[in-house]
Structure 1
Amino acid sequence: MAKISSTAARGTARSASGSDEGSSAAVRLTGVGKVYGKGGGAVHALRGVTIDIPRGSFTAVMGPSGSGKSTFLHCAAGLDHPTSGTVQLGGTDLSGLDETRLTHLRRDRIGFVFQAFNLLPSLTVTQNITLPLRLAGRRADQGWLSEIVERVGLGGRTEHRPAELSGGQQQRVAIARALVTRPEVVFADEPTGALDTMTAKEVLGLLRQTVDSLGQTVVMVTHDPVAASYADTVLFLADGDIVDAMTAPTADRVAERMSRLGAWA
């Protein structure tokens, strides 16, 4: 298949949720490039990526090693500054924010789930979940806290510490922590990479549920076609650009598409 433009992929991502040009995106990247280094040693991690991520959608990002997946996530989430182009979160242009305001935005409007659970071992489940609120000097909404604890299946575990939990339970704590601030977007970077197959399916089902039941927007970087099959749309990156997008993915279709990425890069 011929390489397609990021603009074409953007239209595919919109159509997955019935969005159109007039609707607002949860995340919008416009001409985003990222270059590491200078001169002959410069590495172009992203090359003018333009894409809209619709609100209330589950988007998976895939590509071979070195394709720019992690850089895409870091720029989209405000963890790294693009060299060129703009990133908007819910209409807010991140390029116009200083580091303090970016920190506040990430804390208040974005949730993060990583392969490493990043829980504090001395804190209980409840304390780990509510940590972002405590850092912001905000009190937890007890009704919302109770709801997300039940949704992630941690009822009866709230006073346990991470060492007393399985890997899957620790990742559920991380997901609950990502949801507690009612973020506009949850970014997940290989969230099932450290989990066994059955536990991974449970965690992916939970992420899917947050989209279907709560209207949450989820953007997930993964190398696993099975994980990508839980998404509404899969974006395929190669050599720093979006080369294709797939709606209603299945594990087999994603695996077959990934096998041809080398020919498109």
Structure 2
Amino acid sequence: MHTSHDLRRTEAVRLDTVSKIYGRADSQVAALRELSMSFADATFTAVMGPSGSGKSTFLHCAAGLVRPTSGSVTVGGTDLAGLDDTQLTMLRRDRIGFIFQSFNLLPALTVMQNITLPLQLAGKRPDKNLIRSVVQRVGLADRLGHLPSELSGGQQQRVAIARALVTQPAVVFADEPTGALDTRTASAVLSLLRESVDNARQTLVMVTHDPVAASYADRVVFLADGALAGELHRPTADAVAARMTRLGAWEDENRQQAAPMTSGGLY
């Protein structure tokens, strides 16, 4: 299931000592604390941690949706700190793909129109061969004229995956992509994501709470109180679940002894 780890791969995303502080001086909340990690091209990484560990803030900072308080984020070799808001929007549109738990499809558009929407927004002429390849990979060739309401949850998620892949982004960020799916459908979607890494050389970073979902990744990185709390390579569901149990117990113990500036549950 897992690809080999190749140190010679270039980095699709890199975070260097990224911190994100919310609130004012007398009531600050550290959502991320000097977080450093990198994600190589054509790899699949799962990001996990207890509630309030910083997963959402990590995702938002890494994807250029939120600017960190300090530190740097690099996507496809571009330092996001050097971009103004318009350039950042263009980079997200052209170099970053998103897959959400709630699919976020436009209900009035057909499957094909939803898939090609990012290309239209970018003013790009669709590459018919690429679109055909993506559509075939996600198994939607016979559903292109359908509306989202005419699809199952699993099919809607496949549309969202195709939409994320069609711009050939440097990295795809997936936020709980199987959270709204039943077990069998989730397995099919995760296999599709795994194939996009192995066969299409896509880079995928997935936030999840599910040890089974994490077992499809090459590695799992664990966050706790906004900081890196370890990694697991070639993960199994049992190993991930055991690590999460220990991490939750460790974090509970530390929070009881915490200083005033701690990680907040909303982030």
1:49-89 CA distance string (max 9 Å, x none): 01111111000000000000011111001011000000001
**Any conservation in 2 of the 1:16–1:247 contact (CA below 8 Å)?**
no
Instruction: Identify the residue that residue 181 of structure 2 maps to in structure 1.
Output: 195
User: What amino acid sits opposite 1:90 in the alignment?
Assistant: G
1:96-130 CA distance string (max 9 Å, x none): 11110011000001100000111011100000000
Corresponding position: 1:210 with 2:196: yes
User: What amino acid sits opposite 1:222 in the alignment?
Assistant: T
Which of 164, 175, 196 does residue 178 from structure 1 map onto?
164
Instruction: Identify the residue that residue 130 of structure 1 maps to in structure 2.
Output: 116
Instruction: Identify the residue that residue 265 of structure 2 maps to in structure 1.
Output: none
**Any conservation in 2 of the 1:111–1:179 contact (CA below 8 Å)?**
yes
Instruction: Identify the residue that residue 150 of structure 2 maps to in structure 1.
Output: 164
Which of 52, 77, 84 does residue 91 from structure 1 map onto?
77
**Any conservation in 1 of the 2:76–2:95 contact (CA below 8 Å)?**
no
User: What amino acid sits opposite 2:11 in the alignment?
Assistant: A
Instruction: Identify the residue that residue 18 of structure 1 maps to in structure 2.
Output: 6
**Any conservation in 2 of the 1:47–1:240 contact (CA below 8 Å)?**
yes
Which of 28, 31, 34 does residue 14 from structure 2 map onto?
28
Q: Distance in 1 between matches of 2:91 and 2:216?
A: 28
User: What amino acid sits opposite 2:164 in the alignment?
Assistant: A
User: What amino acid sits opposite 2:44 in the alignment?
Assistant: F
User: What amino acid sits opposite 1:164 in the alignment?
Assistant: E
In the TM superposition, residue 154 of structure 1 has moved relative to its aligned partner by 0.3
**Any conservation in 2 of the 1:116–1:194 contact (CA below 8 Å)?**
yes
User: What amino acid sits opposite 2:6 in the alignment?
Assistant: G
After TM superposition, the score normalised by the length of structure 1 is: 0.92
What is the CA RMSD across the aligned residues, in angstroms?
Answer: 1.2
Q: Secondary structure at the match of 1:260?
A: helix
**Any conservation in 2 of the 1:16–1:233 contact (CA below 8 Å)?**
no
Corresponding position: 1:66 with 2:52: yes
In the TM superposition, residue 155 of structure 1 has moved relative to its aligned partner by 1.1
Instruction: Identify the residue that residue 132 of structure 2 maps to in structure 1.
Output: 146
In the TM superposition, residue 16 of structure 1 has moved relative to its aligned partner by 6.1
In the TM superposition, residue 41 of structure 1 has moved relative to its aligned partner by 1.5
User: What amino acid sits opposite 2:131 in the alignment?
Assistant: L
Instruction: Identify the residue that residue 244 of structure 1 maps to in structure 2.
Output: 230
Instruction: Identify the residue that residue 89 of structure 2 maps to in structure 1.
Output: 103
Instruction: Identify the residue that residue 256 of structure 2 maps to in structure 1.
Output: none
Runs in 1 of length 4+ with deviation above 3 angstroms?
none
Could you tell me which runs of 5 or more consecutive residues in structure 2 were left unpaired when the two chains were aligned.
Answer: 252-267
Q: Distance in 1 between matches of 2:134 and 2:78?
A: 27
Q: Secondary structure at the match of 2:21?
A: strand
Question: What percentage of aligned pairs have identical amino acids?
Answer: 66
